[in-house]
Structure 1
Amino acid sequence: MKITFLTVGKTEDAYLKEGIEKYVKRLKHYTKLELVELNELKNTKALTPEQQKAKEAEMILKKITPLDHVVLMDEKGTEYSSTRFAAYINKREISSSATLIFIIGGPYGFDSSVYQRANDKISLSRMTFSHQMVRLFFVEQLYRAYTIMKGEPYHHE
């Protein structure tokens, strides 16, 4: 199974980039992971949040095929423990989805068209984190999930 991690905007802070690269490198031993960074919108001061979400949705939906299993990283999504998230990933692998796509939207979240296309929504926490930090937290949890599935000693209960 291929996993795509799709984000609106680029990771800017060097320390976050370094952390993301660390876990992406580790994940190569377990799965094929593609990072896709969509360009942030320019000149957004003239746009309402709804208009921004609609424009971001156009970019997001162009990157998705009908066979993809789409998971939105959303504060209203299902919260998983690390072991339950590992079980979720394992189930997706068994179901042989062509591509599992995890998406982090822009600062205002997702347009309704993206919600309609999504298969699942996952929340990393009830707390709010910057979109930059969520990227690092997500790839670490994905790595943790694979080590749990393989019975490796990275995760401790």
Structure 2
Amino acid sequence: MRTTMTVNGRPYELDVPPRRTLADALREDCGLTGTHLGCEHGVCGACTVLVDGEAMRSCLMFAVQCDGARVRTVEGLADGGEHPLQAAFTAEHALQCGFCTPGFLMLAAGAIEADPGVVDDPERLRELLTSNLCRCTGYEAIRRAVRAAAGRQG
């Protein structure tokens, strides 16, 4: 099936099988390997991208569902520089193995852009971040990084 989408500001015309996931299309057809595939069941969040500004699990979406959509991946986060979230994750030691990091970055970017106040409520922030899994950090450093980044973006 023919589908068109804008990924990180660049238009793509893709010819994909109807059941190709967005994650596979991003990785295989667009060459954007920053979107990681973990569980492939929508549980871990490593494949989180923004579709029309909303955080979505790209392993659960078909590429054809994104026809005409704007997709933003971790590669498009910084736009040539370093995004405040990336700097904060480094400064706060919010990553170890790094496998989950792209998903956390995109989840946090979408949440902060939609509602910067999410970082002011510890319970809301905790709830948001527990939707993604990390087996290395224990989440506290990730929470600190997201709060720090939100302060830099504001």
Give the TM-score normalised by structure 1.
Answer: 0.31
**Larger RCO of the pair (alpha carbons < 8 Å, separation 6+):** 1
Give the TM-score normalised by structure 2.
Answer: 0.32
